[in-house]
Homo-oligomer: A and B are copies of this chain.
Amino acid sequence: MMNPTASPGPAVSTLYLSAPEAAELIRRKGLIQCMAGIAANIREDFRRWPEFDKSARVANHSRDGVIELMPIADDVSYSFKYVNGHPKNHRRGLPTVMAFGVLADVDTGSPQLLSELTLTTAMRTAAMSVVAAQQVARKNSRTMALIGNGAQSDFQALAFKEGMDIEEVRLYDVDREATKKLAANLQGSGLRVILCSSTAEAVNGADIVTTVTADKTSATILTPDMIEPGMHINAVGGDCPGKTELHPDVLRMAKVFVEYTPQTRIEGDIQQMPADFAVTELWEVLTGAQQGRTSDEQVTVFDSVGFALEDFSALRFMRDTALALGVGERITLIPEMADPKDLYGALRQPAGLAGAGLDAFGAASVPVAAVR
């Protein structure tokens, strides 16, 4: 037992990355390098899939949206993400998706990193899409339709340019201003950008179709008549109960790949299908245990919902990069305690301040029966 008057014991110091600091990190490292680094971590972590303690995320649904917690752990690290989905938020000037998360030490439970994850989620979602496409899309894919041109779309376009050698993106959104925003952001990226006036026009002739729409409804963005042999569909927007993007017949004509089956059956486009609808988990394709695409004519679907392991991979990347670049600050989320069994002692005045050494609670602050 340590002496209670000794200096504070080993403090738990948590690295904090605010949104502006994460933006600075991304600017300094480069967006593409960040997405590449996260993709590398995702591949590494997915290949050791059985080592993780996995569960479907916990969702609290409300009238206009959902708030979710996504925990996962291996023997060394634990992570969770807080993320919301509120499609009407843009009317208030707020993002549809906001997120933050924590990386912690499994041995002690100490939080090591608290990070913004709004920007990071956009990067990791695009990185995951590319990891999947590299496994199951045709290697000679050069054009991508992008249906839904909101916050996630820029990241998808840039990641696919680099990771899949996409040369042309064909944009469509019901909100014309969103499409203009995306086209403006892609100027100078090297991508040929085509503005389309319907989903069908954008999808026509595309090798890859990425759907990233936001409405929390059972939408039918893609219908069977739009699908061409050999197409890869990167279905990102259908990601919670009652929120889908693909006509069921599109799923029936395709080989469907998922992240974590128990979660995708609840949240993905396959929520429309029977519980025994055949799917292949991507980690098994990455390890070589399962085949990806089996012919150039096959239609493939990545029914992406976003799994906790991707955030674990992304948090690892953000921690390592923040430490390497010296970005972020240290915060005291956990009390410093001279004696870990004396939490009450942590309430005393810090040494050096007026009143140091006195008990924190004088008689005047303890009125009788105040707890009643």
Interface residues, chain A, with chain B CB atoms under 8 Å away: 1-2, 4, 9-10, 12, 16, 18-20, 22-23, 26-27, 30-33, 35-36, 39, 53, 55, 58, 60-62, 64-67, 69, 71-73, 75, 78, 80, 82, 84-86, 89-90, 92-96, 98, 100, 102, 104, 106-111, 116, 118-119, 122, 127, 130, 134, 149-152, 154-155, 159, 162-163, 165, 175, 177-178, 181, 184-185, 188-190, 331-337, 339-347, 349-350, 359-361, 365-372
Contact = CB atoms under 8 A, between A and B. Distances in A.
B118 A334 contact: yes
Contacts of A130: 371
Contacts of A372: 36, 134, 162-163
A331 B100 CA distance: 12
A143 to B, nearest CB: 18
Contact of A335 (B16, B19, B93, B345): B19
Contact of A67 (B73, B165, B331, B336): B73
Contact of A32 (B118, B151, B361): B361
A95 B347 contact: no
Contact of A341 (B26, B60, B178, B365): B178
Given A62-B106, A107-B64, A365 B332 contact: no
Contacts of A370: 32-33, 36, 162
22 contacts: A1-B177, A10-B92, A16-B331, A19-B346, A20-B335, A23-B347, A26-B360, A33-B365, A35-B371, A60-B71, A60-B73, A67-B73, A67-B106, A67-B109, A85-B109, A86-B108, A89-B108, A89-B340, A94-B110, A122-B344, A152-B343, A178-B341
A360 B89 contact: no
A18 B371 contact: no
A335 B365 contact: no
Nearest to A155: B344
A342 B109 contact: no
A366 B334 CA distance: 39
Nearest to A70: B69
A327 to B, nearest CB: 14
Nearest to A338: B93
Contacts of A22: 335
A343 B95 contact: yes
Contacts of A64: 107-108
B340 A95 contact: yes
A148 to B, nearest CB: 10
Given A10-B93, A35-B371, A82-B104, 18 more contacts: A1-B178, A12-B98, A20-B350, A30-B361, A31-B347, A53-B60, A60-B73, A65-B108, A67-B71, A69-B69, A98-B109, A98-B111, A100-B111, A100-B333, A119-B343, A150-B341, A154-B344, A162-B371
A17 to B, nearest CB: 10
A78 B188 CA distance: 42
Contacts of A185: 342, 344-345
A339 B181 contact: yes
Given A86-B109, A177-B1, A335-B95, A159 B343 contact: no
A54 B108 CA distance: 28
Contacts of A2: 93
Contacts of A31: 347, 360-361, 365-366
